[in-house]
Amino acid sequence: MLSRAQTISEKMIKVDHVGENGAVHIYRAQRWVAKVRAPSLVPEISRFIQHEETHRKIFKQYLSTNGVRRCVSYHFGGIGGSILGFITGLIGSEAIIATTFAVESVVLSHIEEQLVFLKDHDTQAYECVLKIYANETEHLEVATSKLSSKNIYTPTLINIIQFSTNLIIKFGMR
């Protein structure tokens, strides 16, 4: 029988697991729409999906090994991610890139805070988070290099997504 998260480390990993599920769904929905709206981004989106699926497995394994059930918001993360991915995919390549930039900038900040805490509190969780750090950094670097300021909506979209991502993380850690 799996139990609720008992430690801060377990809560962090549960939130990370939800986040990775959301990311998989964002990218899947974006890839589906990008086949028509932004075909040049499809190979990169597909590569990002593979990364996020691997990350999700890493966190699932940690939770399973430690007898912790996944977060009740796991499926909501997937649904929300699918909606965000579909909408931003419809808007086009700039919105797809802006989404990656917004989400990854928040996620990397969150991961860096986690690594500081986990290093002294939970070696296993620390190793899990460290395994995803390079991929998440790469996603942000790719998005940053492709982000354009031509569209007037881009800064607003980024702010909304960053605010929402931070809110989801804070809600999950409560």
Q: Encode pLDDT of 52-73 as tens digits.
A: 999 999 999 999 999 999 998 9
pLDDT of residue 14: 95
Is residue 82 within 8 A of residue 128, CB to CB? The reply is no
pLDDT of residue 152: 87
pLDDT at 1 over 90: no
Q: Give per-residue pLDDT as tens, 32-49.
A: 999 999 999 999 999 999
**Which whole number is the average pLDDT over 121-138?**
98
In the chain, domain spans: 8-173
**Non-local CB neighbours of 87 within 8 Å, separated by 6+ positions:** 95
pLDDT of residue 2: 82
Helix (H, G, I), strand (E, B) or coil at 3: strand
pLDDT at 91 over 80: yes
- The rounded mean pLDDT for the chain is 95
Residue 3 phi, psi dihedral angles, 5° rounding:
-115, 175
- Euclidean distance between CA atoms 112 and 115, whole angstroms: 5
**Which whole number is the average pLDDT over 20-30?**
98
Maximum CA pair distance of the chain? 53
Helix (H, G, I), strand (E, B) or coil at 68: strand
pTM of the model: 0.95
**Which whole number is the average pLDDT over 118-127?**
97
pLDDT at 155 over 80: yes
Confidence grade of residue 174 (pLDDT, cut at 50, 70, 90): confident
For the domain covering 8-173, report its CATH number.
1.20.1260.10
Instruction: Give the burial class of 6: count Cβ atoms within 10 A of its Cβ; 0-12 exposed, 13-18 middle, 19 or more buried.
Output: exposed
Confidence grade of residue 149 (pLDDT, cut at 50, 70, 90): confident
